[in-house]
Structure 1
Amino acid sequence: MRAMISADMEGATGVTYPLDVEPRGDEWHRFRKLFTADANAVALGLLEAGIEDVVINEAHASMRNILLEELDDRVRLLTGRHKPLGMMQGIEGADAVVFLGYHAGAGEKGVLSHTYLGNSILGVWLDGEPASEGYLNAALAEEHGVPVIMVTGDDKACEDALRYAPEAEHVAVKEYVSRYTAICLPPATTFRLQREAAGRAATRAGRTEALARPHRIEVEFDAVQLADATANIPTVEQTGDRRVAFDAPTMTDAMKAFKIVSSIAAAAREVFYD
């Protein structure tokens, strides 16, 4: 059995503030270690429970945050940007996926809550339902017949996971107070909790029937020019001053299109008016 860990950083142990996850200073280096420890904890739990192959897809920002040299030597790390499926690269060959360090979606309560862009996206909807990154990625996993067996992050991320992976193990490593504040558990505690939960989650591994179907994604931005810019993409329709929508024949195609939409939106911001 092969398990993939899709590892984001905002929901990692101790993280509460943008500088904790942005590669520009001492705080980032500190939290890289805690992020890596979280990944190790989950990987160890899976391996101890009989999963033969664990691949960690580094899924945060530059996708070069986890410290390879501190990982268990049985684990493989998929690191670097511009992966075709981004956070979910490698899902095709997996028998299970863990969402590690996830967070609530844009416009929702949660530590560092957002969906792909830190502030420019106010909300995302998949087939009419509010969609966090976890919600979107779970739909992609379902299309490939891969169960989401475990989700870690703050308590709001775990609440969100009840919508898309109610049978999975949910581990809250911190408790939301505000977008930049949390009550955090110590690393030794979160390591144990995640390792134990991963061991339980491993029993849920096993591919299910793949389910490919059409989807519609809607995105609301915080500025008019972002909708104007992304509406230039073929198949993307501007449905309001700050809102666009598009249809796709599969979730894989939908996520590739969403990646383009978010990239164009990011490029349409200016320094002093972003």
Structure 2
Amino acid sequence: MRIYISADMEGVTGLVDAEDVQPGGRDYERGRLMMAEDVNAAIRGAVAAGATEITVNDAHGPMRNLLPEALHPAARLIRGRPKQMGMIEGLTSQHDAVICVGYHSRAGAPGVLSHSFMGHEIEDIWLDGRPVGEIGLTQATAAAIGVPMVGLTGDDCACAEMTDWDASVATVAVKYARDRFAAALRPAEEARAAIEETVAAALSAPAKAPDAAAEPASTLTVRWQSASVASTLLGIPGVASTDSRTVQAQGALPDLYRLFGVWMRVAASLTNQPPYC
């Protein structure tokens, strides 16, 4: 059984502030170790369920957060950027399941450190008219590749967003949002035990692989904070505007996901302030 883990940071046990998740932040070094412990709990669960190959993709910010020496030896790590497929780099139809660790809710939604991909620069995203963030777009793209998402960890708001998007995915709430930068924390040992147990159970239950060939073309729409970003993206073939700050494109996932990555690199080159995470 080949398992793929996409590891973000904002939804990791104990982390609540940008200082916890940004390189250079006062508590970042502690945060990256907390991230490794949550990922290791998921790896242990996968091993218990019979996984023979585990790929972990560091999916947060600079994508160099996980220290290789801190990672469980059963897993292989994809680290660094740029990556053409960003948060799901290395995911192929040969994988049997996807686990998302440390995920967070979308921009504008309640939740600890909620945002969509680029912090403040992206205001809203829609997939086929449905509001979406990193959770839904990851699940939809994995499904288009033909791999089911079976588990997700994060705060209670991220878990609720996952359930609303796809109720078949098992979730683990490691903290409970009080505001965007505050949470009631689950004890670390308890949270990691829950991650391990839930991942093992989710992988032990039969999961139907999505029929990737049946996925229709989709429409991805993004509303940016800056009209400059939107107008520049119109130079890319296939990109259309719906208003001065909103662009969209049609196509099949995962191609749209890869195109969205290009949009973000364009946006990053045009904005003077870097994303907060």
Range class of TM-score, shorter chain: over 0.9
For residues 182 and 61 of structure 2, the distance between their equivalents in structure 1, rounded to whole angstroms, comes to 21
Opposite residue 219 of structure 2, the aligned amino acid is: R
For residues 198 and 115 of structure 1, the distance between their equivalents in structure 2, rounded to whole angstroms, comes to 25
Q: Which segments of 5 or more consecutive residues in structure 2 lack a partner in the other structure?
A: none
How far off is 1:206 after superposition? 6.1
For residues 170 and 198 of structure 2, the distance between their equivalents in structure 1, rounded to whole angstroms, comes to 6
Residue 222 (structure 2) pairs with residue 225 (structure 1): no
How far off is 1:178 after superposition? 1.0
- Segments of 4+ in structure 1 off by > 4 A? none
- Structure 1 equivalent of residue 5 of structure 2: 5
- Structure 2 equivalent of residue 67 of structure 1: 67
Contact preservation (8 Å) 1:6, 1:57: yes
Aligned pairs for 1:49-60 within 5 A: 49-60=49-60
How far off is 1:134 after superposition? 1.1
- Structure 2 equivalent of residue 38 of structure 1: 38
Aligned pairs for 1:163-178 within 5 A: 163-178=164-179
**TM-score if structure 1 supplies the norm length?**
0.94
Superposed CA offset, 1:75-121 (max 9, x none):
11111112221111222121000011111111211111111111011
Which has the larger displacement, 250-259 or 232-241?
Answer: 232-241
- Structure 2 equivalent of residue 89 of structure 1: 89
Which has the larger displacement, 139-148 or 262-271?
Answer: 262-271
Aligned residue for 1:10, secondary structure, equals coil
Aligned pairs for 1:240-259 within 5 A: 240-248=243-251, 250-259=252-261
Contact preservation (8 Å) 1:112, 1:180: yes
For residues 141 and 120 of structure 2, the distance between their equivalents in structure 1, rounded to whole angstroms, comes to 24
Distance 1:206 1:72, change over 3 A: farther
Question: Taking every aligned residue pair, what percent have the same amino acid on both sides?
Answer: 35
Contact preservation (8 Å) 1:149, 1:168: yes
Q: Which of 261, 264, 267 does residue 263 from structure 2 map onto?
A: 261
Contact preservation (8 Å) 1:148, 1:165: no
For residues 59 and 181 of structure 1, the distance between their equivalents in structure 2, rounded to whole angstroms, comes to 23
Aligned residue for 2:219, secondary structure, equals strand
RMSD over equivalenced CA pairs, Å: 1.7
Superposed CA offset, 1:196-248 (max 9, x none):
11110112456443243211111111222222222222211121021111112
Count of residues in correspondence between the two structures = 272
Opposite residue 234 of structure 2, the aligned amino acid is: A
Q: Which segments of 5 or more consecutive residues in structure 1 lack a partner in the other structure?
A: none
For residues 64 and 16 of structure 1, the distance between their equivalents in structure 2, rounded to whole angstroms, comes to 19
**TM-score if structure 2 supplies the norm length?**
0.93
Opposite residue 215 of structure 1, the aligned amino acid is: S
Contact preservation (8 Å) 1:221, 1:243: yes
